[in-house]
């Protein structure tokens, strides 16, 4: 799995790529939760080739922590593999989903 964190305006963008599975989701979880310590987070899923329920659990946890802290949390560039999993879990109705980071920031 690839995991990069960068600052973009008022948020951190956590870009995940490759396979987010049982072996790599702890790293994704840590990146999301650490990034939420100081500002909101947008998780870029555009390069995700595979994500399973363990990866989705990291996103759910990030969403809940952000909600409790009153911080922004959203998903951007959701790849077909990621969209499949989000739809199966009915999380496409829960997470704010945007095409790009700029779209997400423009949405407030």
Interacting residues with other proteins (CB under 8 A): 19, 21-23, 50, 52-54, 56-58, 60-61, 64, 80-81, 84-85, 88-90, 94
H/E stretch holding 21 reads none
Q: How far is the CB of 23 from other proteins (least distance, A)?
A: 4
How many residues are recorded in the chain? 108
62: left (phi over 0), alpha (psi -120 to 50) or beta: alpha
Query: What is the bridge-based pairing of β-strands 11-20 and 2-8?
Result: antiparallel
Return the number of the residue (20 or 104) whose C-beta is nearest other proteins: 20
Report the C-alpha gap between 52 and 7 in whole angstroms.
26
- DSSP 8-state assignment for residue 106: H
Return the number of the residue (23 or 100) whose C-beta is nearest other proteins: 23
Q: How far is the CB of 2 from other proteins (least distance, A)?
A: 14
Q: How far is the CB of 78 from other proteins (least distance, A)?
A: 13
Cα torsion angle, 26, 31, 36, 40, sign: negative
Q: How far is the CB of 16 from other proteins (least distance, A)?
A: 15
Return the number of the residue (27 or 103) whose C-beta is nearest other proteins: 27
């Amino acid at each position: 799995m690839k995991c990069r964190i960068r600052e973009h305006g008022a948020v951190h963008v956590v870009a995940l790529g490759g396979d987010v599975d049982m072996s790599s989701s702890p790293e994704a979880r840590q990146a999301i939760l650490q990034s939420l310590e100081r500002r909101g987070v947008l998780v870029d899923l555009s390069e995700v080739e595979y994500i399973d329920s363990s990866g989705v659990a990291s996103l759910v946890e990030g969403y809940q922590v952000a909600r409790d802290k009153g911080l922004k949390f959203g998903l951007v560039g959701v790849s077909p593999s990621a969209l499949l999993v989000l739809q199966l879990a009915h999380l496409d109705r829960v997470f704010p989903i945007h095409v790009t980071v700029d779209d997400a920031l423009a949405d407030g």
